[in-house]
A and B are shown apart, each in its own frame.
Chain A
Amino acid sequence: MSTDPGTIFVGEHFMSGDEACAEGAIAAGCSFFGGYPITPTSELQERLSRRLPQVGRLFVQFEDEIASMAAIVGASCAGAKAMTATSGPGFSLMQENIGLAFMMEVPCVVVNIQRGGPSTGLPTLLAQGDMMQVRFGSHGDYDVIAYAPSSPQEIFDCTIKAFNAAEKYRTPVFVMGDELVAHMTERVVIPPLEKIELVERKRPEAASADGFLPFKAEDDLIPPMAIAGDGYKIHVTGLTHNEKGYPHIDPDTHDQMLSRMLRKIKDHRDEIIEYEEIELQDAEIVLVTYGSTARSALRALRLAREKGIKVGMLRLITPWPFPGQKIEEIKGAELIVPEVNAGQMAREIERWARKPIHRVNRLGGAPIHPQEIMNRIEEVA
């Protein structure tokens, strides 16, 4: 399913993260959005409800987030590039079917514009409290690709990357926005289609259904994906299955199946992981940060450098898969991890750094002021 260049909202715009994410989905070729309203994604969904039909695509509001996630998995099985968007409470509801998407190896994109939690929390205010949930929220072992954009431009770019990663690796991919990025309004440049790289899922080359094994991977550990109606007569199940797709409740089959699916992402980390390095070369203190907090951290970095403190920043664009090796490289420096939560990515950073790190936390509701980070820098320096 190729994207019609006429659908893309080309140009320089002044738009919010929610709106930019919606346009990113359209630019990526999203042909099915299934969602349920939840603050702070409502503007994203409302924009898609207007824009998707304009470009001949489907927007459906479902009865709840569980239905939304199930529907986008089904839609993708029928060939669509499918997406949903939600926040914390809805994300919790979606976990079971996220596991289904992983198990069935179905490409789809889940946008979580994080807000204050737990439970109903702070519906209209910032937090970054779902960072561990995106990695471990569903039951069982699975691996995750998640992007954390820091600006409306970046959420546009990351949404397209998320669709591409989903198609390439046949897995659900997450865009972990936050309320601040979603509601801030900034310049967003949307290029024409010929400047956007889009990836489509691998399709089978087999001539017929006879002998076709829907879950037999190629050398890249990714099986080509048969779409419903292609004629391959595949069986796809959430139960542990063999290469034929048939359920097989057996420890060895489980081992083979699950280890391949885990390696599918792990072995491609180098292609997937993205981060931004700012003034790391001589840094004695490194701010490791992501999402909207990176904006405050950048300001603090500039303030510190003015005072002659050698501060650098590592901004995680893909918090998952986690760039553990990069942390190992920089662990000589003092690591400061500001997050709007009780310390989530900090755990992972500490794990790789193998030494205590410094946390700057706000539990939710407002961004961390650059001065708070600056204060910690001065304490540590």
Chain B
Amino acid sequence: MPVNLQGSPEIKTDQHPDDAYLRKDRLPHIWCPGCGIGIGVKAYIEALKLSKIPLNRQVVVSGIGCTGRVAGYLNLDSYHTTHGRAIPFASGMKLVNPDLEVTVFSGDLFSIGGNHFIHAARRNVGINVICCNNFNYGMTGGQVGPTTPTGAFTLTSPYGNVEDGFNLPYVAAAAGAVFVSRWTTLHFRNLRDAILRAFGKRGFTFIEVVSPCPTAFGRRNEFPDGLDEMEWYRNNSVIDHRAELVEIGLAMKKDSRIVVGNFVDIERPTSMDHYQQVLHRAQGEQR
């Protein structure tokens, strides 16, 4: 490695230090210029590096959609499952082998996946859920989704969305998640740290990653470029770990705020704790 303390311009290379964590033969990945999902993946990899969990035990399960493709680029045991069903798939894995650190990367966890989300949170299954929220269904071109803000223009809300979008941290906390966090793709270190914290937590953890989607959402709304949206995150986001969750819905308008932070960090018996109880009771009782 050339070390030129006199100063040297950029050195062109074809290898990245993280290549061991990626399926290098599949890069460059399919995400658009300006999409933030890659930043989410990078933050996850940084957390993998800092975590003491051996890589063989790290498993990624994803659903369908742009975020769903995350599983295909990570060099770990990774499962790209059916639409909305990543969470019960991941729950089955974790319940069978609690030594696995199972992380769900998904987009639409809240419409087709909504029921599974709230029950896994209620049960406190020990999986980590990372939801890249780009406010629409990107892969299929940009249709309205359960987090699309009121008034936003998408391919299936051409007159402006008349429904309200979910406030994800509020839903997650209400359903029983023990760790609830939201960061934008600009807050990459906080995101890395939140993922690392999630690895260390027992129970159901949820991280919302607010991400640009210039090709589908951004350019039909107020953020034609990924860069516009990232700069808007810089100017309009506020870190408030103690925010009132009911108030932190995202309007995604140029004059609105994004509240980010690690909002909930509690302890609660996990589903494995509960099933241990069942085993204990069953084996105490003779047939």
A–B contact at 8 Å CB threshold (below): yes
**A interface residues (Cβ-Cβ under 8 A, vs B):** 31-32, 34, 50, 53-54, 56, 58-60, 62-64, 66-68, 70-80, 82, 96-97, 100, 104, 226, 228-239, 246-247
Does B85 sit at the interface, judged by CB under 8 A? yes
Q: Is the CB–CB distance between A100 and B282 below 8 Å? A: no
Q: Is the CB–CB distance between A58 and B88 below 8 Å? A: no
Q: Is the CB–CB distance between B56 and A230 below 8 Å? A: yes
A229 CA to B58 CA, complexed, in Å? 7
A229-B275 contact in complex given A70-B92, A97-B85, A236-B79, C-beta closer than 8 Å: no
A60-B95 contact in complex given A71-B89, A73-B89, C-beta closer than 8 Å: yes
B242 proximity list for chain A (CB < 8 A): none
A258 to chain B, nearest CB (A): 17
Q: Mark B45-89, 1 if CB is under 8 A from A, else 0.
A: 000000000011101010000000001100111111110010011
A62 proximity list for chain B (CB < 8 A): 88, 119
Q: 3 closest A-B pairs (Cβ-Cβ)?
A: A74-B92, A53-B282, A71-B92
A246 CA to B281 CA, complexed, in Å? 44
A233-B76 contact in complex given A53-B282, A67-B116, C-beta closer than 8 Å: yes
Q: Is the CB–CB distance between A229 and B100 below 8 Å? A: yes
Q: Is the CB–CB distance between A58 and B119 below 8 Å? A: no
Q: Is the CB–CB distance between B59 and A239 below 8 Å? A: no
A71 proximity list for chain B (CB < 8 A): 88-89, 91-92, 95
Checking A78, A235, A239 against B92 with a beta-carbon cut-off of 8 angstroms, the contacting residue is A78
Q: Is the CB–CB distance between B96 and A79 below 8 Å? A: yes
A80 CA to B95 CA, complexed, in Å? 10
Q: Which of B59, B282, B285 neighbours the largest number of chain A CB atoms within 10 Å of its CB?
A: B282
Q: Is the CB–CB distance between B77 and A50 below 8 Å? A: no
A62 CA to B91 CA, complexed, in Å? 10
A interface SS class: mixed
A23 CA to B126 CA, complexed, in Å? 30
B interface SS class: helix
Q: Is the CB–CB distance between A233 and B77 below 8 Å? A: yes
B12 to chain A, nearest CB (A): 27
A230 CA to B61 CA, complexed, in Å? 16
Closest residue of chain B to A99 (Cβ to Cβ) is B82
Q: Is the CB–CB distance between B59 and A56 below 8 Å? A: no
Q: Is the CB–CB distance between A236 and B80 below 8 Å? A: yes
> Which B271-287 residues have C-beta < 8 A from chain A?
275, 278-279, 281-283, 285, 287
Does B191 sit at the interface, judged by CB under 8 A? no
A228 CA to B103 CA, complexed, in Å? 13
Size of the chain B interface, CB-CB below 8 angstroms: 41
A235 CA to B76 CA, complexed, in Å? 7
Checking A53, A104, A228, A238 against B100 with a beta-carbon cut-off of 8 angstroms, the contacting residue is A228
Q: Is the CB–CB distance between A75 and B92 below 8 Å? A: yes
Q: Is the CB–CB distance between B88 and A78 below 8 Å? A: no
B88 proximity list for chain A (CB < 8 A): 34, 62, 66-68, 70-71, 74
Does B16 sit at the interface, judged by CB under 8 A? no
Checking B26, B80, B82, B97 against A78 with a beta-carbon cut-off of 8 angstroms, the contacting residue is B97
Q: Is the CB–CB distance between B115 and A63 below 8 Å? A: yes
Closest residue of chain B to A54 (Cβ to Cβ) is B282
Q: Is the CB–CB distance between A232 and B77 below 8 Å? A: yes
Q: Is the CB–CB distance between B92 and A236 below 8 Å? A: no
A67-B72 contact in complex given A32-B92, A53-B279, A75-B93, C-beta closer than 8 Å: no
Q: Is the CB–CB distance between B93 and A228 below 8 Å? A: yes
A31-B96 contact in complex given A58-B275, A228-B77, A233-B76, C-beta closer than 8 Å: yes
Checking A53, A54, A59, A235 against B80 with a beta-carbon cut-off of 8 angstroms, the contacting residue is A235
A232 CA to B55 CA, complexed, in Å? 11
B100 proximity list for chain A (CB < 8 A): 78, 228-229
A127 CA to B90 CA, complexed, in Å? 35
A73 proximity list for chain B (CB < 8 A): 81, 89, 92
Q: Is the CB–CB distance between A234 and B77 below 8 Å? A: yes
A167 to chain B, nearest CB (A): 15
B283 to chain A, nearest CB (A): 6
Q: Is the CB–CB distance between A235 and B78 below 8 Å? A: yes
A97 proximity list for chain B (CB < 8 A): 82, 85
Q: Is the CB–CB distance between B77 and A74 below 8 Å? A: no
A70-B282 contact in complex given A58-B95, A62-B88, C-beta closer than 8 Å: no
Closest residue of chain A to B286 (Cβ to Cβ) is A54
A229 CA to B59 CA, complexed, in Å? 8
Q: Is the CB–CB distance between B85 and A67 below 8 Å? A: yes
Checking A60, A72, A74, A238 against B90 with a beta-carbon cut-off of 8 angstroms, the contacting residue is A74
Does B99 sit at the interface, judged by CB under 8 A? yes
A30 to chain B, nearest CB (A): 12
B56 proximity list for chain A (CB < 8 A): 229-231, 233
B283 proximity list for chain A (CB < 8 A): 53-54, 56
Q: Is the CB–CB distance between A100 and B96 below 8 Å? A: no
Does B219 sit at the interface, judged by CB under 8 A? no
Does B23 sit at the interface, judged by CB under 8 A? yes
A80-B96 contact in complex given A70-B81, A233-B76, A236-B79, C-beta closer than 8 Å: yes
